[in-house]
Amino acid sequence: AYDGRMTFKKLSGGGEGLRGMVTRRLTGEQMTVMEVSGQGTCYFADRASEINLVALHGDKLYVEASNLLATDAGLRTGTTFTGLRGGASGNGLFTTTVEGTGQAAIMSDGAAVLLRVTPQYPLMVDPGAYIAHQGNLQQHFQAGVNFRTLMGEGSGEA
């Protein structure tokens, strides 16, 4: 929904042109992007998802493409290799990056939890619950599968 005078334009390749379109197709990190311009207010939503605004001040946000709803015009999107974390969770080996100065709107199926990570306090997150992160986060893959869970005798928690 919107009020005022707005124009909408679909951008191919995630707004990154032909190179971005080819990269996203090869990496499987698909993203449909629409440019909105004009004067007024535009309201964005996707199903009944929670929406959180992330302010970027020249830094980089790593976010699953399916969780990225909108970005300010001053932000650039790209694709980066995530390694085993994405492959093991079914999210793929690549993720979307957003960088520059502005705000990005990210979605979650419930209220997102902001967690601080420091070298003194490492953090373990279920790969299926991961939405996004900022900064130079070193990710390590750790399987929660042992003989009991493989045989179906575990608690079901990873």
Percent of the chain with pLDDT over 90: 30
- Give the closest residue to 98 by CA, choosing from 139, 52, 130, 57: 57
Token pair 């919107």: residue: 2
Q: What is the model's pLDDT at position 56?
A: 96
Backbone angles phi, psi at 67, to 5 degrees: -100, -5
The three-class DSSP label of residue 148 is helix
Which of 134, 152, 138, 110 is CA-nearest to residue 58?
134
> 51 pLDDT exceeds 90?
yes
68-120: pLDDT as tens digits:
999 998 999 888 877 665 555 555 677 889 999 999 999 999 998 888 888 88
**CA dist., res. 83 & res. 62, Å (int):** 13
Across the range 142-148, mean pLDDT stands at 60
The predicted model gives 128-149 an average pLDDT of: 72
DSSP state of 121: B
The pLDDT mean for the chain works out to: 78
Ranges 44-48, 92-96, 140-144, most confident: 44-48
